[in-house]
Structure 1
Amino acid sequence: MRVALSNAARVWGGAERMTLAVGEGLRVRGHKVTLFCRAGSPLHQRAERSLPCVPILGGMDLSPRTVARSAAALRRFRAEVVVTFAVKDPRWLVPAARWVGVPVVVRHPMDRPLPRTPYHRALYAGVERWVANSEATRATLQRTAGVPRERIVLIRNGFDVERWAAAPPADLGLPPGARAVGFVGRLERRKGLFELALAWPRVAARIPDAYLVIAGVGPDEEAFRAALAAAPRVRWLGFVADPAPVLRALAVLAMPSHFEGFGLAAAEALAVGVPVVATATSSLPEVVAHERTGLLVPPHDPDALAAALIRLLEDEPLRIRLGAAGAAEARARFALDRMLDEFEALLLEVAR
């Protein structure tokens, strides 16, 4: 099977990691894979080591130049199916694929509404199948874009769980006996950064050996740093290429997002045996089971977030129990091979 993947994102995040994982995994399984991406993007820089890349994506919606170049590249590659991974990709790849008669699968990466203007309805009509990475995202696609449920395939994110579980813990430079609460991800408001900033002083006052460890970069980093400027015991790691060792070194992961598409950092924390405090919103309750693999709190509630973090930091047996259950859950539900099996079956069905 000849598969063209696309992802025009300018940043590196969960959707980009899944794009690369699917591309590399399908190639290992004997399929021909090429990646359409944005020139010089973090994904382009990483993917060109293992996948043929076509770095031509960019420009306005329905950019004639991008659509024409994409159609020509699909024809040269003799693509049998196109899979888009970033939100803007369909605005170029759907018309390009229709031009050359190739079916398109759109993976919608985020639990956010899609517009239903005449333009968008016409665009969505050219999509053969949709992939949602959570039930929450699938429901949003049905509700906002009017996509029939039978055209939406649920494929949850997957990763190399065993590699993550075997990663050695990072040296975070903390004093002996310190307990680390971690945040791992893009530093953007929707991740609940400012609720965490409000919760942390209460946690730090109650748990004198607790440290907040923040791994990531993003558009709201400056404001987040300012919000935590007076807070005690905060460590900033910046961008971390491989977060597995950082997660292994944590006592608890905080994920107070306002919405997600899936919640990859939460699943990865479970894989290394770290319990998660997450918000009971969007897809996160599908990843974190309340009182079984972590604790769920209401979104936008710093007091509830602080109370849950304090509870886990003070109760080591609870942390151990939730962590062990989370590791078993990750092995059962989030394996890379399971995700690749499901993508491969879908694409073989759709490919012309």
Structure 2
Amino acid sequence: MRLAFFNATRSWGGVKTWTLEFASALSGLGHSVTVFGRPGPFIERALSLGLDARPTEFGPDYNPVAIARFAHLFRTEGTQAVLVNVGRDLRTAGIAARLCGIPLIQRIGLPGDMKNVWKVRALHHLLRPHYLCPCRFNRDGLLQNLPFINPADTTVIHSAKIPADTPPARMGSPLRIATTSQLKPDKGHAGLMLALARLKAAGHAFHWDVAGTGQSQEALHAQARSLGLSDCITWHGWTQDVRSILRPADIFALPSLSEGLPNTLLEAMAEGLVPVARNVGGIAEVWPAVLPEFLVADTAATSDEAADAFFPVLERILTAPAETVLQWKRLTWEQCVHHFSLDVQARKLELFFSDLVPGGTPPRNNG
């Protein structure tokens, strides 16, 4: 199949990561996938992965020049399906796909990405895209927010990651906790930090690796100093190589107040970290069924209440026998390998496209 993936957003987010990972996987299955985006890190990263990636200027919404350019490209290159995000790529490349009679797929990042306003309704009725969602939570939220969408026009294919080649075989001393979210208030770092301060006061040893940047960075650094945690934390800042931070860690802490299906959780599971997270969004859909006690109820409204919720869960892991912790790590890794590996989910995406594309290539047999 000849597929075109578009992303016109300027900042780097989970949808861009998803786009590159699944484009690479589909290319590995023998399909032709071309990635279009603004010049910069997204295209540079795509090229480094060996993808056919093209820097693109989209212009304003409904730009007739861009629409004509994309339509010409689709016709000359024999594009069979077009995948877009919810922004300017939808309002240019999406229109071009519709004019060419090519199946259009809109990838939904979060349920609230689109509002039920007349512009959205009019564009939906014009383009009639098929909506691809990374989790059931996103799909259900989309249908609730935009009740004019037919549920039959939605498909859920979970996000995925490439798991480590071998199961976890070692542990840190002390145990290392990793958090790899943006440093923003809704990511819940402040409440988690209070829990860690209590753990330190109770005599438990640990080290917290924090990756990411954001508007709360200075406030969190100050909070760490005031709580006497500076010697227990490494602030890694922004990094493209998150896996290098996760690999030596043992526990993944995700205290976010809201999420869709976070890439960060799947990345941690792929490395075999014991997950501890607030039960929000689509997290429960991928959670290891054998570790329900580490999924924290979404009832804490303040940082102090979050600390109350995370403290006993983290304390249980920090005080568990080494072999027990290692077994929890292996069970998490196995969950990713068997259900949420990129290979598994990419074949589901391949089948999805083959159903939409006339004469589309059926999924390959693993043998």
TM over 0.5: yes
Aligned-partner SS, 1:116:
coil
Unaligned segments of structure 1, at least 5 residues:
171-175
Instruction: Look up the equivalent residue of 1:154 and give its one-letter code.
Output: V
Which segment drifts farther, 268-277 or 9-18? 9-18
Instruction: Provide the residue aligned with 1:173 in structure 2.
Output: none
Determine the C-alpha separation between the residues in 2 that align with 1:87 and 1:228: 38
| Residues 199, 311 of structure 2: 8 Å contact kept | yes
Q: Deviation digits for residues 143-178 of structure 1, max 9, x if unmatched? A: 112222221111011222144x479989xxxxx832
Instruction: Look up the equivalent residue of 1:329 and give its one-letter code.
Output: Q
Aligned-partner SS, 1:282:
coil
**Match runs of 1:53-202 below 5 Å:** 53-85=53-85, 89-112=89-112, 114-125=114-125, 126-146=127-147, 147-163=149-165, 165=166, 177-202=173-198
Determine the C-alpha separation between the residues in 1 that align with 2:309 and 2:191: 10
Determine the C-alpha separation between the residues in 1 that align with 2:85 and 2:193: 31
Instruction: Look up the equivalent residue of 2:285 and give its one-letter code.
Output: E
Q: Deviation digits for residues 88-116 of structure 1, max 9, x if unmatched? A: 53233322222332221111122436311
Aligned residues: 345
Q: Deviation digits for residues 40-96 of structure 1, max 9, x if unmatched? A: 1x2111102312223225554334444344334333433111012465532333222
Q: Deviation digits for residues 176-196 of structure 1, max 9, x if unmatched? A: 832221101333333223332
Instruction: Provide the residue aligned with 1:217 in structure 2.
Output: 213
Q: Which has the larger radius of gyration?
A: 2
1:254 Cα deviation (Å)?
0.6
Q: Deviation digits for residues 275-303 of structure 1, max 9, x if unmatched? A: 11111111111122476266111344232
**Match runs of 1:1-352 below 5 Å:** 1-40=1-40, 42-49=41-48, 50-85=50-85, 89-112=89-112, 114-125=114-125, 126-146=127-147, 147-163=149-165, 165=166, 177-231=173-227, 232=229, 233-289=232-288, 292=291, 295-299=294-298, 300=301, 301-316=306-321, 318-352=324-358
Q: Deviation digits for residues 194-221 of structure 1, max 9, x if unmatched? A: 3323333223322442222101234443
Determine the C-alpha separation between the residues in 2 that align with 1:112 and 1:229: 36
TM-score by length of 1: 0.87
Which segment drifts farther, 224-233 or 127-136? 224-233
Instruction: Provide the residue aligned with 2:363 in structure 1.
Output: none
Aligned-partner SS, 2:336:
helix
TM-score by length of 2: 0.84
1:119 Cα deviation (Å)?
0.9
Aligned-partner SS, 2:295:
strand
Aligned-partner SS, 2:112:
coil
| Residues 116, 146 of structure 2: 8 Å contact kept | yes
Aligned-partner SS, 1:213:
strand
Q: Deviation digits for residues 279-335 of structure 1, max 9, x if unmatched? A: 111111112247626611134423212332222212235533432221221111112
| Residues 103, 128 of structure 1: 8 Å contact kept | yes
Aligned-partner SS, 1:124:
helix
Determine the C-alpha separation between the residues in 2 that align with 1:59 and 1:177: 53
Cα pair distance change 1:33/1:290, threshold 3 Å: closer
Instruction: Look up the equivalent residue of 2:328 and give its one-letter code.
Output: L
Determine the C-alpha separation between the residues in 2 that align with 1:58 and 1:213: 38
Cα pair distance change 1:272/1:48, threshold 3 Å: closer
| Residues 183, 253 of structure 1: 8 Å contact kept | yes
1:5 Cα deviation (Å)?
0.3
Cα pair distance change 1:65/1:294, threshold 3 Å: farther
Determine the C-alpha separation between the residues in 1 that align with 2:181 and 2:100: 38
